[in-house]
A and B are shown apart, each in its own frame.
Chain A
Amino acid sequence: MTNGPFVQTDLAAHAAARVEDESEARLVERAKSDPQAFGQLYERYVDRIYSYVFYRTGNQQEAEDLTAKTFHKALDHIGRYDNRGVPFSAWLYRIAHNLVANWHRDGARRQELPLEPQAHLAPARGRPEQLAEASEEREALLGAIRRLPSDRQQLLLLKFIDSLPNAQIGDIMGRSEGAIKSLYHRTLIALRDDLTTHGFS
């Protein structure tokens, strides 16, 4: 083998991920009857689920409400959860996704992404005109994301906010890794086309 150290690093990372999966599997089993174990799962995922729901709904109050519903629903149904190749995180995200979808449907609301995310964005550095341009670009991008279908929005949020690999995104969205990769490329192309149409090259 030509790249020995890289292979060993990759194997070590893989082994570490497998150990973590097994320990989470044990934690999930305990959580079915042990409130403290469920609390540990909650601590592990609350930030991620909240962030995802926040971007899908566009405001803090709804994000808190739906995040709370996600975890209460998870608590209701964890006794029936069975890890048949679907990780616990994917199961949790699916609950969140379905609640968000119902929220949109019930309120007939447009899919809102926060128009004022600047409070959550890292401050940009540079001259005033550069800052103004950067801010305009971000707003335009958020507008373009908002115009995407919900599955493409979901894909972008899982990829860029949670930094999930395609395989895990596939678990959450119920698609193959290859389908996610293809969807990702088409989404980027669509996003770029939309930005160009709205005057951003």
Chain B
Amino acid sequence: MNKLALERLLSRYAGVWSGDSGAIDDLSDLSPAARAELDSMARLVGLLNSTLEPVAPRDAFVGELRRSLLAEALQRQSWRAAYFGPLRRHWKLTAAATASGVSVAALSAVSAAIWYRGRNL
């Protein structure tokens, strides 16, 4: 059986070889060769199920990593509170200062551009 035909067979009769006990497939129109293919796939899936089992991490590792993550998260939280807290509380002042800074920068840029053009004329 070529690979394309085999793929179609697997797709059509997934319930037979995938271990889905609730699936009901009518196999009466299948050739013996096709049934053998499905049986072979079912065996392979069974072997995969028994071989690829979850591997648990060490308890000590899980605990250490938890503590490390918590420490880092708490550090970030306190840094954010220390830096952004005052900015948030005095937001009007912060906004005004930012707007002023932008205005000064824009005026400076326009002035510089006018001066530069004046030089070149």
A55: contacting residue among B55, B57, B65, CB under 8 A: B55
Residues of A within 8 A of B61 (CB): 64, 67
Q: Mark B62-89, 1 if CB is under 8 A from A, else 0.
A: 1001101110111011001000000000
B40: contacting residue among A55, A161, A192, CB under 8 A: A192
Comparing B6-14, B25-33, B94-102, the segment that makes contact with chain A is: B6-14
User: B56: CB under 8 A from chain A?
Assistant: yes
Evaluate contact between A39 and B69: CB separation under 8 angstroms: yes
Evaluate contact between B7 and A120: CB separation under 8 angstroms: no
User: B34: CB under 8 A from chain A?
Assistant: no
User: A23: CB under 8 A from chain B?
Assistant: no
Nearest opposing residue in chain B for A121, CB measure = B53
Evaluate contact between B57 and A47: CB separation under 8 angstroms: yes
Nearest opposing residue in chain A for B73, CB measure = A35
Chain A's nearest CB lies how many Å from the CB of B50? 7
A129 to B74, CA, bound (A): 56
Evaluate contact between A75 and B69: CB separation under 8 angstroms: yes
User: B120: CB under 8 A from chain A?
Assistant: no
Evaluate contact between A64 and B69: CB separation under 8 angstroms: no
User: A27: CB under 8 A from chain B?
Assistant: no
A71 to B74, CA, bound (A): 15
Residues of A within 8 A of B118 (CB): none
Residues of B within 8 A of A173 (CB): none
Evaluate contact between B72 and A156: CB separation under 8 angstroms: no
- Can you give 29 contacting A-B residue pairs, CB < 8 Å? A38-B69, A42-B66, A43-B66, A47-B54, A51-B55, A54-B57, A55-B52, A55-B55, A63-B55, A64-B57, A64-B58, A67-B65, A71-B69, A72-B68, A72-B72, A117-B55, A121-B53, A122-B50, A138-B51, A141-B48, A156-B48, A160-B49, A181-B11, A185-B7, A188-B10, A188-B45, A189-B6, A192-B41, A195-B44
9 further interface pairs, Cβ-Cβ under 8 Å (given A141-B48, A189-B10)? A33-B80, A50-B55, A60-B58, A64-B61, A67-B65, A160-B48, A185-B11, A188-B10, A195-B44
* Chain B contact residues, CB within 8 Å of chain A: 3, 6-7, 10-11, 40-41, 44-45, 47-58, 61-62, 65-66, 68-70, 72-74, 76-77, 80
